[in-house]
Structure formats: structure tokens, C-alpha cells
Amino acid sequence: MKAFRSVTSRAAVLDRLDVDTDQIIPKQFLKRIERTGFGEFLFFDWRKDPAFELNQPEAQAAKILLAGRNFGCGSSREHAPWALEDYGFEAIVAPSYGDIFRQNSLKIGLLPVRLPPEQVKELMERAHAGEELTVDLEARTAGGFPFEIDDFQRECLLEGLDEIALTLRGKDAIAAYEATHDAPFSTLSV
Amino acid sequence: MAQTLFEKVWESHVVERADGRPDLLYVDLHLVHEVTSPQAFEGLRLAGRRVRRPDLTIATMDHNVPTGDDTPMDPLSVQQLDTLQQNCDEFGVPLYATGSGREGIVHVIGPELGLTQPGITIVCGDSHTSTHGALGALAFGIGTSEVEHVLATQTLSQTKPRSLRVNFVGEKPAGVTAKDLVLAAIGRLGVDGGVGYVIEYAGPAIESLSMEGRLTICNMSIEAGARAGMIAPDETTFAYLEGRPGVPQGAAWEHALDRWRALPTDAGASFDREIEIDVTAIRSQVTWGTNPGMVVPIDGAVPDPAAFSSEDDRAAAERALVYMGLEPGTPIREIEVDRVFIGSCTNSRIEDLRAAAAVVEGRRVHPSVRAMVVPGSAQVKAQAESEGLDRVFEAAGFEWRRAGCSMCLGMNPDVLAPGERCASTSNRNFEGRQGAGGRTHLVSPAVAAATALAGHFAEPGE
């Protein structure tokens, strides 16, 4: 996984509630079997509208996305964080996220920061005014506001750890668990 | 100490627990489909890793498969299905491919084959994995990185969610279905009300539901933001499972029953949050907007965004109405539809098809409506055909199709055209979900069937 420490950049503002992963990356792009190249299809349908937030000049080259409540709800498609990351975003700041989206983002080094709604609104105003923001994982701050993230997830992100390798270090514990638990179902013949 | 169903299943699957770390949770069953797995298998290949427990892993093909008899597949879909076949061959994962007789929507075949069992943990790279919780399993959707983690280790590193009990109180009025109960619950909770929680659905209205109805309820947990939903296993569950291919037989079956009977939430166990929903007030539900929480009773009308208290909610409602092409105040029953879709992992099981068939038997689909029925699995299709349901649907003017995800998400040839309005038994009315520019209204199978006949939203018998 790509490591994340901090990012300073202009921020794109997407002040909408409940943006679902179907909007972030529509289904027709889920047929690809690669992990890369999804950025050009990010918000595919919404981007056709010249008035769409990410089409505005101030949103160009933004590495931080400011979003509304429950960002990334719906489908579990990891293609959504892949598309955001491939497009150039390194961190998202929102009041809350869809659980699976948040988990998926953490796994690929795209930092989903949670801040109270009024602080996100304030950052949106500052971004509209052209201010650059800093999201700093080491200091656990976004635009100067402190945010919470659990120590383990923070460490994984800071170090860019391969979580599978980490788990496999404890493979004796997995084998011990398996030795005392039967497989739940009879294996079916295909 | 008194424990909830969720805690019992979670605690019995903790492989490792350390301070400041998420729990390492054992996965009993890993379901795999073509869309969210190719990059995970590729990751294994690049790292030189194997699938730790191919015997606890089962793959099927569902999202891309065409449901018409001779509909050609686009080259990317073909590639994705071929890739799944190759990955399953290479890593030794059993695959129920199209034509095997056991294929179907992953969340339909798990319970149907008896793989989904009380007290086990199930994951799948699909958010509707919550479905399997209907049998008392802890089941949730994961992303592709997590799919790779489970393939390699048969475990998942997870922070323990909080618990939420949704108590349905009172007696369910006649004609109100499981779909209406869950849509009403989502309307109440909101689409993010369940974020961070595992929901347990309880109360007499849940206990009296069939297994199919319970699967519909748990399926839509994710639409309230909850990764998992669960229902206590009981005699309905055991009767459903008995004799299915994946469940233990003989003495092992009796032993399994003993374990399963100990799973329900203990008296006095506490939840992080509880809500009550008065079932007696629930009527047939129809969504009007672009998420499943935007829902009203069929007797109601399209709401006025001005009535929403927060500015954000007002803006969301306004955007939704523009997308849906609806005016505030329009009675739901006056909204005309172009398409009707009966299918998806929410409502494509035999009971759903029976309910819809009972409504349309001897009648005709409205001339301006194109209606289709897509069974959830090859076995549901065979069962329905043995009961003559296919003939009932076809005589009424419905298309009777092959099993698959179909028009729930439009990754296959079944899609809405821009601007088309659809009464759908699926789970998501997001913008473009069933096809770019398509307008989706979520309803129960009975309402979908009645709507197909009337040409506008209607209940059976109207």
C-alpha cells in the first residue's frame, strides 16, 4: 500500500449528502480487470455537466476532496477509491462515510478524514476562498482541525504496510483457530 | 454475561485480539463473483500467495451474465467471466459457472445451497452480503483489498461494530410485505442511520416472516448504512435449511441444531442503540427519490423539498426531484411507469415470484409497460417453472428470463433507457443505477406486479 503522511493543496468541494459509489464510478467501468486507470471515469455522468463541482477551475489539481455526510455509501466497489486516487485525490474530508468505502480507502492509502459537519462547512468556505489546506496524518489535523483515527490504521498508512504480510506473521494463530473449529458446511462437489 | 446474537458470533470468531488493534476475525465462508475478485487474485499472483482455504471459498457468475436466451455479451464481460474461470482453476476455488445448474445471484445461492448457516461468518466483495444474516450468520460486504486478504489468510482485520436492535412492534397489516417493513425502517433510520452498526431485526412481525422475507429484510441493511443485519435463527430457519446440500446430515444435523438454538440474543443483553417501529402504521412503500431512504407510503405524495428542515436535505431532495422528473405533491398512484423489474438479490426468490404471479394471473400487463421477471438462481427458475409460474407471467405479458443480477445494476444488457421510469423490486434507486438517466422506484414484488397491470403505481386488487 502507498504510504500517506501529509498533503497540502487546494481542495475540491462536493457539498452533497449521501454521494454513493455508483456516482463515483458507474457500473460500466467495473468490467475492467485492472486496478489502475479509473480516474478518467470518476463521476462519469456528473462530469458531463459543465456546472459540476469538479469541473470548476478552482477544483483543478486539487488533492483534497471536501464532501458531505455519508460520502461513498452504497456498493462495496473498491473501484470508487481507486478512481478518486487515480484522479489525483490523496485525502477526503467529510462528516461521515459509508463503512465499506471508508475501509476500502484506508486499504489503498487514500485518507478518509472525519470532522464534525460545521468544521467541514468551514473548510469548504476556506477552499472556495482559494485557501490551500493541509491534511497531516502525523499531526492528525485537517485544515488545522484535529481529527481522530485509530492508532493501528494510522500506523498502517504512515508506513504503507502490507496488511496481508502482517496477518500472515500470525499464521500460527490462524492454524490454531482452525484446529479447534470445524468447517461449517460439507464441501459440495462442483 | 448476557450476549447478543451478534456478540456470540463475533466473539466465537476472534482469532487474535490485541490492544489498539482491530480484531482478527475468522471467515467461515467466502463468496466470490466476477466483478470484485480479478484484482484480488492478481494481487495473490504478484505476491506469490495461494488461497488458504479454497474449500471455504465458493465462486459464481452473476453481475455480468445476460438473462436473455441468446443475448450476446460484450467483450469486457466475456473477459471478466473468463478471468474468474481461470482464477478459480488456478487457485482451486469451486465455481458455479453459468450452466452448472447451481449458478445464480451470489446472495440467493448461498442460502439455497445451505452454505449460509446460523452462527457462521460470511464475507463477499458485495455490499448486499448482509442478506445472509437472515439465517443468523454474521455476513458483510468487503472491498477487493479485503477479498485478497481473506483469500490469502481466511481472516479479516475488523474493528468491532456497535449493535443496533430494530424492534418491529405490533401486528403487520394484511398486504404489507417484508420489503415494505425494511423500506419503512430505512425511511426512519435514514441512509446513514446504521453506519457503524450491525442491526438485529426483532419482534413478532419478523418472527412471523418466511425465510425469503427475512432475506429481503437483511439484504437492505446496507441501504441504512449498516454493513450487516441479523435475525435470530428459529424453527423457520431450521425447517428452511434441513436437507439442503451444504448442511450437516444425521447426527451432525442434531448437533448443529443444538449449537444454533443457543445463538439468539440472551434476555437482558444490551444493545448500543434500540429503536421501535410500529408495524401497524406501515403501508405499501414506494421510493420517490434517489436513495432508498426517500420513501413514502403508496397512499402518499411526492414530498415538497421546502418541508425538509435542513438546508442540506432540502438541496438533496430538490436534486432528486429534478433527476426523477417529479413535481412535489404528485400522488404516488398517479405516477406512470415504463418498465417493471421483478428480480435482484432483494426479491427474486420463489416466494417473491409466487406473490407476483398471484397478482398477475389471468390479467394483462398494461400496453405501455415492458415488464420482466428474472429469477435469482437457476434453481429458483426451475422451481418456478415446475409450478407453472413462467406460464402465468408470460401469459400476462411479462418476459421470463434466466437467472442473474439483471437490471438491478445494469452491468449486463438489461438496462433502462435515459428517462425511462421503472417500478423495481431491487435495492437501490441511485441515479443511473439501472442505466444512465433511468428513474428507479423501489417497491415490493406485489406492488411491482400490480403496477405492471395498471401502468401506474398500484396495489394488488386495484
Question: What's the pLDDT band for B70 if we cut at 50, 70, 90?
Answer: confident
**A173 chain-B contacts, CB cut-off 8 A:** 15-16, 24
CA distance A140 to chain B (A): 17
B398: number of Cβ within 10 Å: 24
Q: What is the predicted pLDDT for the residue at A170?
A: 87
Length of chain A: 190
Question: What's the pLDDT band for B76 if we cut at 50, 70, 90?
Answer: very high
Q: What is the predicted pLDDT for the residue at B73?
A: 87
3-state secondary structure chain A: CCCCCEEEECEEEECCCCCEHHHHCCHHHCCCCCCCCCHHHCCCCHHHCCCCHHHCHHHCCCCEEEECCCECECCCCCHHHHHHHHHCCCEEEECCECHHHHHHHHHHCCEEEECCHHHHHHHHHHHHCCCCEEEECCCCEECCEECCCCHHHHHHHHHCCCHHHHHHHCHHHHHHHHHHCCCCCCCCCC
Any chain A CB within 8 A of the CB of B309? Answer: no
Residue A189 has pLDDT above 90, yes or no: no
Residue A186 has pLDDT above 80, yes or no: no
User: Sign of the C-alpha dihedral, residues A88, A91, A93, A98?
Assistant: positive
Q: What is the predicted pLDDT for the residue at A42?
A: 98
What single-letter DSSP state applies at residue B113?
Answer: T
DSSP B298-319: TTSBPPPGGG-SSHHHHHHHHH
Residue B262 has pLDDT above 60, yes or no: yes
Residue B203 has pLDDT above 70, yes or no: yes
B408: number of Cβ within 10 Å: 29
| A91 exposure class (CB count in 10 Å sphere: 0-12, 13-18, 19+) | buried
pTM, rounded to two decimals = 0.97
Q: What is the mean pLDDT of residues B349-366?
A: 98
Question: What's the pLDDT band for A188 if we cut at 50, 70, 90?
Answer: low
Residues A72, A105 contacting (CB under 8 angstroms): yes
Instruction: Single out the residue of A94, A84, A62 nearest to residue A2, CA to CA.
Output: A84
Number of H helices, E strands in chain B: 15, 19
Question: What's the pLDDT band for B96 if we cut at 50, 70, 90?
Answer: very high
Q: What is the predicted pLDDT for the residue at A187?
A: 58
Check CB contact under 8 Å for A76 and B141: yes
Residue A118 has pLDDT above 70, yes or no: yes
Q: What is the predicted pLDDT for the residue at A190?
A: 46
Task: Find all residues with CB under 8 Å of B68, minimum gap 6, and list them.
Answer: B401, B402, B413, B414
Residue B266 has pLDDT above 90, yes or no: yes
Distance CA A28, CA A37 (A): 14
Instruction: Single out the residue of A93, A90, A105, A84 nearest to residue A9, CA to CA.
Output: A90
The interface predicted TM-score (ipTM) is 0.96
pLDDT digits (tens, 9 = 90+) for B12-59: 999 999 988 999 999 999 999 999 999 999 999 999 999 999 999 999
Partner A, chain B 158-187, Cβ-Cβ below 8 Å? 159, 161
Question: What's the pLDDT band for B462 if we cut at 50, 70, 90?
Answer: confident
CA distance A161 to chain B (A): 13
**B161 chain-A contacts, CB cut-off 8 A:** 99
Residues A135, B119 contacting (CB under 8 angstroms): no
Question: What's the pLDDT band for B187 if we cut at 50, 70, 90?
Answer: very high
Q: What is the predicted pLDDT for the residue at A89?
A: 98
Any chain B CB within 8 A of the CB of A99? Answer: yes
Maximum average pLDDT range among A136-145, A159-168, B71-80: A136-145
Cell numbers standing for residue B288: 420517490
Q: Which residue of A has its CA nearest to B294?
A: A18
**B16 chain-A contacts, CB cut-off 8 A:** 170, 173
Any chain B CB within 8 A of the CB of A60? Answer: no
Q: What is the mean pLDDT of residues B331-350?
A: 98
Residue B71 has pLDDT above 80, yes or no: no
Question: What's the pLDDT band for B337 if we cut at 50, 70, 90?
Answer: very high
Q: What is the mean pLDDT of residues B184-188?
A: 98
Partner A, chain B 394-423, Cβ-Cβ below 8 Å? 409-411
What is the maximum span of chain B, computed from C-alpha positions, in angstroms?
A: 64
Q: What is the predicted pLDDT for the residue at B439?
A: 98
The pLDDT mean for chain B works out to 97
Q: What is the predicted pLDDT for the residue at A168?
A: 93
CB-hemisphere CA count at 13 Å for B249? 6
Q: What is the mean pLDDT of residues A123-150?
A: 97
**A99 chain-B contacts, CB cut-off 8 A:** 161, 195-196, 225, 227
Cell numbers standing for residue B114: 445451505
